[in-house]
Amino acid sequence: MSRDITSVLNGWYFQSDNTSVRIIAGDDGKDKIQLRLELGLLQMEFDGRPDGYRPEGAESWFDYYRQQQQTHDAQNPDSTPFALSTEDCVRLQREGVQYYQRYLSFWHLRRFELCARDTRRNLQLFAFVREHAQRDQDKLQFDQWRPYVTMMHAKAVATPLVELRQFAAARQVIEAGIKAIDQFLTEYDQQHRAEQCFELLHLRKWLTELDQHRNPAEPAEAVDELASLRAELERAIAEERFEEAARLRDEIAQRNSDLKRQRESALPPDIDPMTSTEDAQQ
């Protein structure tokens, strides 16, 4: 079998001003993500470590070191706490870049729940390194990206909520992102740079725009049917159960679609459902 990837790249050209990413069926029967680069492509798994590697039998180096930390601290409660060496941090940083490539791919594929899953994972990685790295320099290698990943996480969670016009729930997510970035600036005594923080400005601007598009009153027949689902959705988001949140978003969208069809089917046949009542009377 040829190892030449030319046939794979033919017809799929790199665009410097646009992210080219697609989902393909793998030979193992599982979907894969392919990200087009100038000199080739990256292929990533949907789940686990993006390259499919299982270091020391763990799902990732992050999972491996968390297991090591838990074992060490349980066996040595009164001794020196677990610590990450610079070599450990290099492994974790390289791995974190893989998850970065994948969550950006999920973002462009509009797989928001999976983008949220991977951004949350990298935020947890940063927190782990902050707590356990031996050197402050190693901590900063990770934590410098915290505002950006926080912003992307908020966008991944809130965007589908905005599309479903769940503005109250989306607002809570964006506010949580703003609060987390404010906390980051406070931790590093950088509050005076808040007006220069792109990620913070981006979320604040989005919040302002959101306030200009408040949810209109729901039709009476939709309130009882959708209220419990929306409450469940908000709880799932608050608890970061993103797969469940994705399922609930889909169900809410389907219910809204069903209600729209029911209203349209009740109209007289000579009235266009896309035309307002006032327009139809004119």
Nearest residue to 62 (alpha-carbon basis) of 149, 120, 23, 2: 120
State mean pLDDT over 201-226. Answer: 69
Three-state DSSP class for 281? Answer: helix
Phi, psi of 44 (to 5 degrees): -130, 150
Angle ∠(201,183,214) on CA atoms, nearest 5: 45
What is the pLDDT of the chain when averaged over all its residues?
A: 85
Q: Which residues pair with 31 in a beta bridge?
A: 25
**AA letter at 123:** L
Higher pLDDT, 6 or 238: 6
Q: What is the pLDDT of residue 164?
A: 86
pLDDT for res 194: 93
Cα distance from N-terminal residue to C-terminal residue, the chain: 69
- 16-20, 84-88, 116-120, 186-190: least confidently modelled range: 16-20
The closest alpha carbon to 113, from 247, 216, 205, belongs to: 247
pLDDT digits (tens, 9 = 90+) for 134-155: 999 999 999 999 999 999 999 9
Residue 268 confidence (pLDDT) = 37
d(CA 230, CA 249): 8
The rounded distance, in Å, linking the Cα atoms of 70 and 259 is 51
Q: What percent of the chain has pLDDT over 90?
A: 62
Q: Are 172 and 154 in contact (CB under 8 A)?
A: no
- pLDDT value for 281: 31
Residue 106's contacts (CB-CB under 8 Å, 6 or more residues apart) are: 33, 112, 114, 115, 118, 156
pTM score of the predicted model: 0.77
Q: Which amino acid is at 268?
A: P
Structure tokens, 52: 């499919």
pLDDT for the residue numbered 45: 97
Q: How many residues does the chain have?
A: 282
Q: Please determine, for residue 244, whether its predicted confidence score (pLDDT) is greater than 70.
A: yes
The pLDDT assigned to 17 comes to 85
Among 26-40, 57-71, 256-270, name the one with the lowest average pLDDT: 256-270
Among the ranges given (148-157, 176-185, 204-213, 256-265), the one the predictor scored with the smallest mean pLDDT: 256-265
pLDDT of residue 282: 26
Confidence tier at 228 by pLDDT (50, 70, 90): confident
Band of residue 225 on the pLDDT scale cut at 50, 70, 90: low
Q: Using one digit for the tens of pLDDT, what is the confidence trace for 85-126? A: 999 999 999 999 999 999 999 999 999 999 999 999 999 999
Instruction: Please check whether residue 130 is in contact with residue 139, taking contact to mean a CB–CB distance below 8 angstroms.
Output: yes
What does the alpha-carbon distance between residue 75 and residue 113 come to, in Å, rounded to a whole number? 37
What pLDDT does 212 receive?
A: 77
